[in-house]
Structure 1
Amino acid sequence: MTAAIQILRQMAAAEMKRKHTSYPENLTLPVKPYNDKTANGLTRCIIDFLKFSGWQAERINTTGRPVDRREIVTNVIGQKRQIGSVEWIRSGSTPGSADISATIRGRSVKIEVKIGSDRQSEAQIRYQQAIEKAGGIYIVARTFEQFYGWYQKTFN
C-alpha cells in the first residue's frame, strides 16, 4: 500500500468517526479498502480524497444509457420468444469529458483517469484544450500517488 493510500485511509477513518459520533471509542470503525489498480478504484480514491479535504468532486458519466426495446411475444402455436434489442442512447455530456469534475479552492478542476498504457482520445485532448483555454485545470491521473503529489504541489 502506498503512502498516499495510507493517508487516504486515515482521512476515511477520521470522516467515519466524525459521522458516527455514537460509535464506541474503544472499537475501530470499518474503513472500506482503497485500491488504485483499476479505473473505478482510482476514481473512488480521488473523489473521496477531495471530499474528505473539504472540496466538491463528482464522477461524470459519459457512457449514455441503455433503452430496452425487447419484448416477449407468443407465436400462433403458443411458443414464446424474445424480439427486439437493447439500444444505447448517447450521453448528453460534452464529447471527451473528463471522468471527474471538481472545484478546489474556487478553481474548476477536471481529472481524467487513465490506467496502464491507456491514452487520451482526440476528443479528450480537445476537451483538455478547451478547459485550459477557459482558465480551468486539467490533469490526467494514472495512480493515486501521482495525483496526491500533484495536489500537494498545486494546492498546498
Structure 2
Amino acid sequence: MAIKKLIELRLEKLKADHPTVPEYAIPKPKYSDRTSNGLTKCIIDLIELNGFQAERINSMGKQLDNRKTVTDVIGRQRTVGSVTWIKGSGQVGTADISSTIMGRSIKIEIKCKSTNDNRQSKAQKDYQKKIERAGGVYIIVRTFQDFYNWFNEFNNKF
C-alpha cells in the first residue's frame, strides 16, 4: 500500500512538472524496498515529495586504485599495484539519511530485511544517543511500510 501511494505522489509531481505531456506518455515510476538502495530511494522521495528535505549520507570513504596494466617484451600483460581505501570524512556511525521534517532534524538508519546487516554497530548506537540527546529524532527503518506509517504519524503530531 505504501509503495502504491509513493507511486501516486510521484505521478502527480511528474504531471505537474510536465503539463503539456499527455498522461499516457508519462512512464509509471518503479519503486522497491527489497534492497537497502531501493528502500533509501523510497524514503528520500517520500520526504521530498511532501515538501521536506532529505539527503543520503555516504560515509564509506573513497577507493584509490593504484593498479596499472603493463606489457612485458614478449607481449604478456599483468596488473601491478594495489587498491586502498581512504577513510571517509563523515562521523563514524552516522545514519544513512539526514532529513528535516516539520522543522525537526531526523536521522534515518536503513536496516533492510533482505540484507545480513540488520543490527546497529556500537558506533551507530553511540551516534543515535548523541542525536537524541541533542533533541533530534533517530529511527531505524526495515521496510518502506514501516517508514510510511511513522511518517504519517509524525506529521499528524504537528
**Is this a same-fold pair by TM over 0.5?**
yes
Alignment partner, residue 58 of structure 2: 61
Pairing 1:105–2:98 present: no
Task: Determine the C-alpha separation between the residues in 1 that align with 2:74 and 2:90.
Answer: 47
Contact 2:3–2:31 under 8 Å retained in 1? yes
Partner of 1:29: 26
Distance 2:76 2:141 in 1: 53
Alignment of 1:84 with 2:74, yes or no, is no
1:13 equivalenced with 2:11 (yes/no): yes
Q: Distance in 2 between matches of 1:74 and 1:67?
A: 22
Q: Identity percentage over the alignment?
A: 49
Deviation track 1:24-43 (CA, whole Å, cap 9, x = no partner) reads 24x25212211111111110
Q: Write the distance in 1 (CA, Å) between the matches of 2:15 and 2:142.
A: 30
Q: Quick check: 1:126 aligned with 2:123?
A: no
CA drift at 1:126: 0.4
Task: Give distance in 2, aligned partners of 1:71 and 1:120.
Answer: 38
Cα RMSD of the aligned pairs, angstroms, is: 1.5
* C-alpha displacement of 1:65: 1.1
Amino acid at match of 1:130: K
Structure 1 unmatched runs, 5+: none
**Post-superposition offset of 1:96:** 0.5
Between the aligned partners of 1:71 and 1:64, the Cα distance in structure 2 is 22
TM-score, scaled relative to structure 1: 0.91
**1:46-94 CA distances to partner (integer Å, 9 max, x unpaired)?**
0000010000101111111111101133446554321101111111110
Calculate the TM-score normalised by the size of structure 2: 0.90
Q: Which runs of 5+ in 2 are unaligned?
A: none
Range with greater deviation from structure 2 (135-144 or 117-126): 117-126
Give the number of equivalent residue pairs. Answer: 153
1-side partners of 2:75 and 2:152: how far apart?
A: 67
